[in-house]
Amino acid sequence: MPSQPAVLAEAAAALRDAAKSGNCIPPLRVSYPGLDAADAYAIQRMNSERRLAEGRRMVGCKIGLTARAVQVQLGVDRPDFGVLFDDMSFGDAEPIPMQQLHQPKVEAEIAFVLGRDLDMGNPGHAEVIRAVDHVLPAIEIVGSRIAGWDIRFVDTVADNASSGAFVLGGSPRLLREIDLRLCGMVMNRRGEPVSVGAGAACLGNPVNAVVWLARTMAALGQPLRAGDLVLSGALGPMVPVAPGDVFESCINGLGSVRAVFETAPATKEPQ
């Protein structure tokens, strides 16, 4: 049974306060027992609408929980999604302020930019492939307002799929030029490998993840549109970030992208 609107509004406000103050909060599933997936997405939507009202602009979506091992860990059998906003975007090697991040970690991904709307019912693989204008290497900086990353499905969904920021590479590629399933990935921290993977780690092929998102958003009456950015999911394990870190993700056939973090400390939960 869905939770009362007042409960959802209180949970949404708790997440906003945590993001603003940097003081992480206990898991929502503990503070608000009985929250389900619908509740979590309702909380996410409340805070997305608040950000839009404050002048932010929606630029696309991110897909999370694309690795089977992570799904098992969180007790689910499907991915989730969050909303990407204009103020979350950084360019290749552009300094990223640590102050706006929360318990940050990085993961290498493939970003899709759409050239056509996907507003038909139940979009298929062929329709999604035709709609993709280009792909780019990306680094997502995930973050959690939940203390110690103690999350389950409702916690991460409500927290905008544990989003933080993202970095896009500057060399777009056409989808037909590359086999995304076989794209090998290595992410280095100051030259030392810290994460390896491939396109197959993302639901078997990152295109599958985008199809899942396109169908989900169409069913919600919020179809993906031309110009939307989609972060399709991690290609390898995520890695914690420390102030001053420099990460470079190299993806075969797509090139590289770098995330450069400033030296000021990130916001942390109270000791």
Residue-wise pLDDT for 99-122, tens only, equals 999 999 999 999 999 999 999 999
* Residue ranges covered by each domain of the chain: 5-261
User: Using 50, 70 and 90 to split pLDDT, how confident is the model at 177?
Assistant: very high
The contacts of residue 136 (CB under 8 Å, 6+ apart) are 110, 111, 113, 168, 169, 170, 171, 172, 173, 254, 257
Segment holding 142, helix H or strand E? strand 132-142
Give dist(CA 118, CA 215) in Å, integer: 9
Would the pLDDT of 2 be above 70? no
Would the pLDDT of 188 be above 90? yes
Q: What is the CATH number of domain 5-261?
A: 3.90.850.10
User: Using 50, 70 and 90 to split pLDDT, how confident is the model at 17?
Assistant: very high
User: Using 50, 70 and 90 to split pLDDT, how confident is the model at 194?
Assistant: very high
Give dist(CA 244, CA 70) in Å, integer: 28
